[in-house]
Structure 1
Amino acid sequence: MTRSPAFEYPTSYYAASAVQTAEPVSLDGEISCDVCIVGAGYTGLSTAIHLLERGLDVVVLEQARVGWGASGRNGGQIVNSYSRDIDVIERTAGQAVADQLGPMAFEGGRIIRELVARYGIDCDLKEGGIFAALNPRQMAELEHQKALWERYGYDRLELLDAGAIRREVASERYVGGLLDQGGGHIHPLNLALGEAAVVRRLGGRIFEQSQVRTLIPGANPVVETERGRVRAKTLVLAGNAYLGELVPELRAKSMPCGTQVVATEPLSDEQAAALIANDYCVEDCNYLLDYYRLSADKRLLYGGGVVYGARDPSDIERLIRPKLLKTFPQLKGVKIDYCWTGNFLMTLSRLPQVGELDGNVLYSQGCSGHGVTYTHLAGRLLCEKILGEPKRFDAFASLKHYPFPGGHRFQAPLSALGAWYYSLKDRFGF
């Protein structure tokens, strides 16, 4: 079978430094299982591991390679909560729903650490993350965030004043910050590859280069690929931004968006320690935020910006280098070794979409930029739902979601207009 170059790993630092991967096996023929999962990113892999640990027979279908989408291209940051914080859930969904979703906001990071420890996954796990405030308004928001998270039982936060954050991050941009000792960072593709190895070790079957072309719901739903079909008791859709047009009703309430990342040449130990003293990951508090961290081999990985509608920019370095140098002017002249882009799936509410379609089909999507932690939680929730423990899954499913204004034709420009407004608020502090 000839593999499409479009479905090979992009030229990224993560792909270049990935652990050895097995030759992909594609689905050929008809098979059956308890649960068939579409998508071998974090959502699908976490779901598979949780189900396999409970004794179910699981098949995972992936159109490209394990971790080929956002799971293998993201900034690698373990960030707690959701893209819209728990106070937004309180206002929009009510206190009863917030009481259920609030404590779960800190569970995804714990699941990652549990999997890494239990199965010995080599993914350069480092502890600690900083939210960096660029102005007094953002600092006040971080103070509110600390009080909010502590109200939901989370106690791993420390406010940083201007002097403290400069001791952590060698940038003059920040007036303060919030250190989350429960945050952290990982090599995202190696985490996905390690989780895939766990799936196989537990007896699960993963078929790569096996794009689902047809979905037939029912008591025993069936999915068909170019050369095979899978009949299951339950089907889980975990394709996120790369699910395409397979399920139009899910596509209508979400929008793929692109974000860009660069990796510098390796820095010296002295340079790296001078930039980020304790090797934390960092993200600022802007609406269109910048995020960065050091890799295991001392490169600065720097990302930022959003491209609505998921177009690939022609010159990623031109977009990101000015942001990098604004934060770290001392890196003027540093060489950029890798540039890449990847898509995440955004919802209008910026909260995840979770639910059940007719015919034993479950889905979770729309992490809206907070996917590393939420997807691992989603896998546990999907497992619980399939095993007849639906309470926590149903709490997420109760969130209301609406189509983007303007339909697919205008959702990207209207979203960009909204982002422009919030960018002005970030710039001028109003």
Structure 2
Amino acid sequence: MTQRVPHTGSYYAATANPAPERPPLTEAIEADVCVIGAGFTGLSSALHLAEAGFSVVVLEAARIGYGASGRNGGQLVNSYSRDMDVIEKSQGMDVARVLGSMAFEGADIIRDRIAQYDIQCDYRPGGVFMALNKRQMHELREQKALWERYGHTELDMLDQSDVRDVVNSERYVGGLRDRRGGHIHPLNLALGEANAIEQHGGRLFEDSPVTRVERGERPVVHTGHGRVTARFVMVAGNAYLGGLIPELAAKAMPCGTQIVTTEVLGEERARSLIPQLECVEDCNYKLDYYRITGDFRLLYGGGVTYGGGDPASIERFLRPHFEHTFPQLKDVKIDFAWGGDFLLTMNRLPQFGRIGDNIYYAQGYSGHGVTTTHLAGKLIAEALRGQAERFDAFAGLTHLPFPGGRLMRVPYTAIGAFYYGLRDKLGI
């Protein structure tokens, strides 16, 4: 009997909606598309494909939403990890125009999914970027002008007199509200999308790690106890893919981030911290991000561990962060602490592409995965239906390996992060 892999000990796992355990794959089956990984990339791809009439099989090594998709901060942050100004300079205006036309689509896809399938995932609208100094306020004004140039106008600058209406903290000098942002319970979103896939005839198998992909005209995806023969394979393992597809490991690096969740505070105390219950992130390079959960806890995350993994004590690591932001929570009890890995690329832009004619992949969202994964799934479905222009705009991006290869990517990146972290502290 296959050993069931439990979710990590997160707040999300403890408050997940009831869901069936999907069985492991134990037979040889066929499908139009075999999706490897049941995180947001895989689920979004599978749902768009199943809606379009493809027969879809999803293979998950552990549980639905086991990786970053079920562990993240739950914030719907628009655009990409590198914003449009960087894309304009590095990729050119033609590419920027195409990517810019999609930069705010992912969050809308999520809202549509929630409404269409009645997914109960504690959705709340509104997200705020908070500045800790004048330099960051200048950057937020530039960001507002940039996003407005690409068609996103639901933005409001916040000066120092507005801060307490958003966050009851002394740390900030102002901010930028994104009314097209928001936040969710990400694991419940993933579980709802899995249910929707099954409504359209898709099949999902848990505890079915893929051992190898046999390439060819009709690729065969092997697990320990079964196999799927398909017309197309969609690789969506991201930071949890391991070495299954070697050519995907060279240009990306797993990184860890950590989150804590307090005891239940109650609505009154929660609103005394974040009056309008929006999600918040600061503008530091190594940023802090936080929000109020559906049951009125403070969920607070931050920090990066290059190469993946967690510090020895997540609570000891993060408590100074949230106490600095909210000194009034100095004695609050922490009920949950957990970590998870996301996948970082050298240029911080997502990696989409094909291996041969029938193996597709999307990965490397570099911390902006909640929204961009949902866009990725839509583009994959478009490409397999013969409309590949938008997918190819991402697939054509230039991606370089980390300096020094896999051996040196962690120390080199950590040196860069130290430099930017020092700039954050000095406010320059």
Fold similarity call, TM over 0.5: yes
TM-score by length of 1: 0.99
Q: Give the letter aligned to residue 307 of structure 1.
A: T
Q: Is the 8 A contact 2:21 2:206 kept in 1?
A: no
Where do residues 197-208 of structure 1 align in structure 2 (5 Å cutoff)?
A: 197-208=195-206
- Corresponding residue for residue 11 of structure 2: 13
Distance of 1:243 and 1:174 partners within structure 2: 39
1:385-424 CA distances to partner (integer Å, 9 max, x unpaired)? 1110000000001110011111222111111110000011
- Corresponding residue for residue 264 of structure 1: 262
Is 1:112 the equivalent of 2:110? yes
Where do residues 29-428 of structure 1 align in structure 2 (5 Å cutoff)?
A: 29-428=27-426
Q: 1:359, CA displacement in angstroms?
A: 4.5
Distance of 2:87 and 2:165 partners within structure 1: 34
Q: Is the 8 A contact 1:215 1:221 kept in 2?
A: yes
**SS of residue paired to 2:151:** coil
Q: Is the 8 A contact 1:257 1:310 kept in 2?
A: yes
- Corresponding residue for residue 2 of structure 1: 2
1:102-127 CA distances to partner (integer Å, 9 max, x unpaired)? 02010000000000000100000000
**SS of residue paired to 1:257:** strand
Q: Give the letter aligned to residue 231 of structure 2.
A: K
Q: 1:361, CA displacement in angstroms?
A: 0.3
Q: 1:189, CA displacement in angstroms?
A: 0.3
Q: Which of structure 1's runs of 4+ aligned residues deviate more than 4 A?
A: none
Q: 1:306, CA displacement in angstroms?
A: 0.2
Q: Give the letter aligned to residue 149 of structure 1.
A: W
Distance of 1:297 and 1:311 partners within structure 2: 28
Distance of 1:406 and 1:294 partners within structure 2: 41
Q: 1:168, CA displacement in angstroms?
A: 1.1
**What residue ranges of structure 2 are gaps of 5+ in the alignment?**
none
Distance of 1:147 and 1:359 partners within structure 2: 40
1:160-201 CA distances to partner (integer Å, 9 max, x unpaired)? 001112211000100000000000000000000000010111
Q: 1:384, CA displacement in angstroms?
A: 0.5
Distance of 2:381 and 2:80 partners within structure 1: 20
1:85-136 CA distances to partner (integer Å, 9 max, x unpaired)? 0111100000000000002010000000000000100000000000000000
Q: Is the 8 A contact 2:128 2:178 kept in 1?
A: yes
**SS of residue paired to 2:101:** helix
**SS of residue paired to 2:360:** strand
Distance of 2:306 and 2:418 partners within structure 1: 12
Q: Is the 8 A contact 2:279 2:290 kept in 1?
A: yes
1:55-112 CA distances to partner (integer Å, 9 max, x unpaired)? 1100000000000000000000000000000111100000000000002010000000
Q: 1:291, CA displacement in angstroms?
A: 0.1
Q: 1:248, CA displacement in angstroms?
A: 1.0
Q: Give the letter aligned to residue 10 of structure 1.
A: T
Q: Is the 8 A contact 1:100 1:392 kept in 2?
A: yes
1:300-331 CA distances to partner (integer Å, 9 max, x unpaired)? 00000000000222100011000000000011
Q: Is the 8 A contact 2:309 2:339 kept in 1?
A: no
Q: Is the 8 A contact 1:127 1:184 kept in 2?
A: yes
Q: Give the letter aligned to residue 48 of structure 1.
A: A
Q: Give the letter aligned to residue 9 of structure 2.
A: T
Q: Give the letter aligned to residue 285 of structure 1.
A: C
Distance of 1:241 and 1:379 partners within structure 2: 17
1:141-163 CA distances to partner (integer Å, 9 max, x unpaired)? 00000000000011110000011
Q: Is the 8 A contact 1:75 1:261 kept in 2?
A: yes
**SS of residue paired to 1:378:** helix
Q: Is the 8 A contact 1:220 1:359 kept in 2?
A: no
Distance of 1:37 and 1:398 partners within structure 2: 22
**SS of residue paired to 1:104:** coil
Q: Give the letter aligned to residue 13 of structure 1.
A: Y
- What percentage of residue pairs aligned between the two structures are identical? 59
1:16-58 CA distances to partner (integer Å, 9 max, x unpaired)? 0001120221101100010110000000111111111111100
TM-score by length of 2: 0.99
Distance of 2:311 and 2:29 partners within structure 1: 40
Aligned residues, how many? 428
Distance of 1:12 and 1:394 partners within structure 2: 36
Q: Is the 8 A contact 2:309 2:340 kept in 1?
A: no
Distance of 1:311 and 1:57 partners within structure 2: 36
Q: 1:219, CA displacement in angstroms?
A: 1.4
Distance of 1:58 and 1:426 partners within structure 2: 46
